[in-house]
């Protein structure tokens, strides 16, 4: 690194990129909030549309499938038309689709508009992360990406609380209308502050990859969702899983042959990148699996309302925020290994505690245990992702962030489905007329499954290379 570059890094202040950081953070918060706000709204939508749960469930499933289909295209669209133009278009489409969702008259209309939402919002996160990463000096990326990670932590926590409050005190339409003012703010901030860049008119589209990627990722996610409803032996589950695996193998084969691939899979040749992304996957399975278990436990065993259950996660939100800020500073100073080990240890210790919960467990014990999951979540999620991105060449960033984002969608869905399927199996072993006290051990055993993935993540964390040992390519 030359003297001028070192001088620029030394004089860098986060204030200089704060407008860009806030723009991306608001956009990401909008998209992630909408992904989680639906979780506690399903029963209300069933009654509002006079439908059934299996039909309304597609409001969430279709959104996830559409996200998986569009995210792989984010890199090409960003290079071809410029990140700013695609970011603005994505926000605008998302806001318009949110308005349509609010006035939907049938379940079919709502599902269609949710797909439109995902097609708009799917590119916001990968483009936003890539942009912030590129404008941040290498020695400050931990702190900067830590700030950017705050909406990624708070949105899943605030989503159920906000959804429960809107449904209980206003109406279901507002779980979509709330997106309009936030989206308008995100759009005008992006118009004003998002860095402009010239599009590459010579950028060719990898047509085969563009066809195979949506088929592969959406089929894999559909198979995971279907397994949660009908089991892994269901013909639709097996069929979509087979289609997804075949399409994924063909996609990988095609991408490795292309000079300008849709997703830059050659980055997996980096041991640091591969090690880091596998660690991220194990951590995400453990985290998202335990989060859904916690929500279900509060409502099904403790008998809390959606709003009351949402309030239980306030300590998690507080420690998550602390963790992500402390984690960013530790990452910049000591590298990824220390912060990853501390974060995963916090998650693992909390899951050990949650493996002993029963219907009579005190609120303080439950909230404290889950608060330490929040601390671990804050320490690990964005810092591990930053380590993964730092292991990739900076010039490939637009093509790498869609890989990490797509994989996160698949792995978090896989973790939730696998752990819920395990919980359902444990509940089926109970007497038909079982009590809430008998439900406690089923949840406790399911937390042990989440703990298994957390322990794998801990083992992988121990063997991580620190930031000083990983060659930065900027």
Q: Choose among 331, 299, 330, 340: nearest CA to 160.
A: 299
Q: Nearest Cα to 455, choosing from 351, 316, 325?
A: 351
Q: Which residues of 122-146 are buried (b: 16+ CB within 10 A; e: fewer)?
A: bbbbbbbbbbbbbebbbbbbbbbbb
pLDDT band for 7, please (50, 70, 90 cuts).
very low
What does the block give as tokens for 197? 């860049």
Confidence of residue 453 (pLDDT cuts 50, 70, 90): very high
Residue 322 has pLDDT above 90, yes or no: no
For residue 257, pLDDT beyond 80:
yes
Residues in the chain: 474
Mean of pLDDT over the chain: 79
pLDDT single digits (tens) 201-217: 666 777 888 888 888 87
| Residue 349 pLDDT greater than 80, yes or no | yes
pLDDT digits (tens, 9 = 90+) for 60-111: 777 877 877 787 777 777 777 788 888 899 999 999 999 999 998 888 888 8
pLDDT at 31 over 70: yes
- pLDDT tens digits for 132-183? 777 777 666 666 766 776 766 667 667 767 777 777 778 888 888 888 998 8
pLDDT reading at 473 higher than 50: no
Q: What is the pTM of this model?
A: 0.71
pLDDT of residue 206: 75
CA–CA distance, 11 with 5 (Å, rounded to integer): 10
* pLDDT at residue 454, rounded to an integer: 92
Kindly state the percentage of the chain with pLDDT values over 90.
Answer: 10
Work out the number of other CB atoms within 10 angstroms of the CB of residue 30. 24
Where is pLDDT greater, at 235 or 122?
Answer: 235
The pLDDT of residue 347 is 92
25's tokens? 């953070």
């Amino acid at each position: 690194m030359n003297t001028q570059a070192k001088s620029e890094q030394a004089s860098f202040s986060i204030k200089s990129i704060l407008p860009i950081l806030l723009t991306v953070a608001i956009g990401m918060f909008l998209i992630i909030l909408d992904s989680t706000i639906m979780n506690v709204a399903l029963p209300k939508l069933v009654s509002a549309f006079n439908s059934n749960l299996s039909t309304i469930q597609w409001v969430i499933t279709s959104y996830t499938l559409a996200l998986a289909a569009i995210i792989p295209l984010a890199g090409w669209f960003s290079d071809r038309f410029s990140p700013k133009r695609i970011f603005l278009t994505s926000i605008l489409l998302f806001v318009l689709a949110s308005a349509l969702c609010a006035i939907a008259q049938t379940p079919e209309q709502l599902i269609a508009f949710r797909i439109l939402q995902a097609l708009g919002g799917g590119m916001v996160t990968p483009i936003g992360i890539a942009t912030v990463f590129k404008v941040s000096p290498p020695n400050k990326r931990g702190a900067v990406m830590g700030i950017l990670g705050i909406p990624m932590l708070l949105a899943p926590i605030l989503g159920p609380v906000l959804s429960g409050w809107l449904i209980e005190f206003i109406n279901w339409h507002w779980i979509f209308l709330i997106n309009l003012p936030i989206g308008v703010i995100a759009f005008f901030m992006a118009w004003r502050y998002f860095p402009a860049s010239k599009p590459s008119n010579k950028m060719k589209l990898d047509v085969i990859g563009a066809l195979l990627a949506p088929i592969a990722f959406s089929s894999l996610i559909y198979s995971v969702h279907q397994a949660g409803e009908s089991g892994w032996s269901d013909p639709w589950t097996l069929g979509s899983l087979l289609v997804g695996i075949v399409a994924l193998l063909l996609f990988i084969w095609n991408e490795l042959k292309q000079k300008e691939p849709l997703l830059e899979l050659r980055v997996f040749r980096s041991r640091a990148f591969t090690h880091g992304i596998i660690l991220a996957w194990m951590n995400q399975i453990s985290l998202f699996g335990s989060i859904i278990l916690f929500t279900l436990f509060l409502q099904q065993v403790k008998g809390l309302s959606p709003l009351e259950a949402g309030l239980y996660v306030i300590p998690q939100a507080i420690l998550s925020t602390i963790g992500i800020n402390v984690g960013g500073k530790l990452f910049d100073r000591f590298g990824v290994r220390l912060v990853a080990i501390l974060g995963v240890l916090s998650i693992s210790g909390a899951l050990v505690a949650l493996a002993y919960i029963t219907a009579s467990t005190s609120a303080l014990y439950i909230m404290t245990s889950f608060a330490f999951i929040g601390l671990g979540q804050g320490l690990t999620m964005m810092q591990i992702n930053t380590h993964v991105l730092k292991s990739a060449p900076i010039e490939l960033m637009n093509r790498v962030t869609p890989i990490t984002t797509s994989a996160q969608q698949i792995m978090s869905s896989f973790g939730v489905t696998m752990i819920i399927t395990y919980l359902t199996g444990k509940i089926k072993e109970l007497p038909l007329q079982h009590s809430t006290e008998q439900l406690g051990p089923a949840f406790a055993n399911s937390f042990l499954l989440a703990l298994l993935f957390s322990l794998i993540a801990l083992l992988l964390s121990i063997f991580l290379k620190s930031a000083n040992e990983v060659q930065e390519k900027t």
